[in-house]
Amino acid sequence: MKYGKKQKEDIFDKIIDSIVEDGKPIRQILKEDWTPSTRIFFQWLDEDEEKVKRYARACEIRTDMLFDEMLMIASTTEEGETMKISQKGEGKKTVKEIEKTKGDMLGHRRLKVETIKWVIGKMNPKKYGAKLDITSGGEQILSAEERKKKIQELLAKANK
């Protein structure tokens, strides 16, 4: 389908709004009737550097919003009900007992938080990814001047 310039801009704006306001992934948005095909959308990005920047910024904002959502989930209790079914007795005298408990769904909230934490770490690793120290072996990293001083101290010790 051919899109006029104004129509293309309006659709692109709506796509960006869906990413930012609703937190939807692009794959889900592009399945909606009003959107272009995936191929056409990415063709639009290939043709316009400004659209690339807007799309990238929208994805960054979505990640920040997911971070905020994660904090809300972690700090807000989520009431729910759990059921524990047990059997007592044997044979024809077996009786099922159902124990219902109401309370905070801590395990459910923990799963949500861990999932969001993993996702945002992949979406924006510089900002939300796990920081691994693979260079210092856990030791303090010295500045150039501190290294020079340390080398001089070691040389002085070696020459004694």
Buried b / exposed e along 81-103 (16+ C-beta atoms within 10 A):
eeeeeeeeeeeeeeeeeeeeeee
Q: Which domains occur in the chain, in start order?
A: 5-77+107-128 (1.10.10.60)
Q: What is the pTM of this model?
A: 0.67
Give the pLDDT confidence of 112-156 residue by residue, as tens digits: 999 999 999 999 988 998 876 666 666 677 788 888 888 888 888
Report which residue type is found at 64. Answer: D
Give the pLDDT confidence of 98-117 residue by residue, as tens digits: 889 898 989 999 999 999 99
Q: Is the pLDDT of residue 25 over 80?
A: yes
Longest dimension (CA), the chain: 91
**CB-based burial label for 3 (10 Å; 0-12, 13-18, 19+):** middle
Dihedral of the alpha carbons of 12, 48, 19, 14, in degrees to the nearest 10: -10
Check residue 137 and give its pLDDT: 62
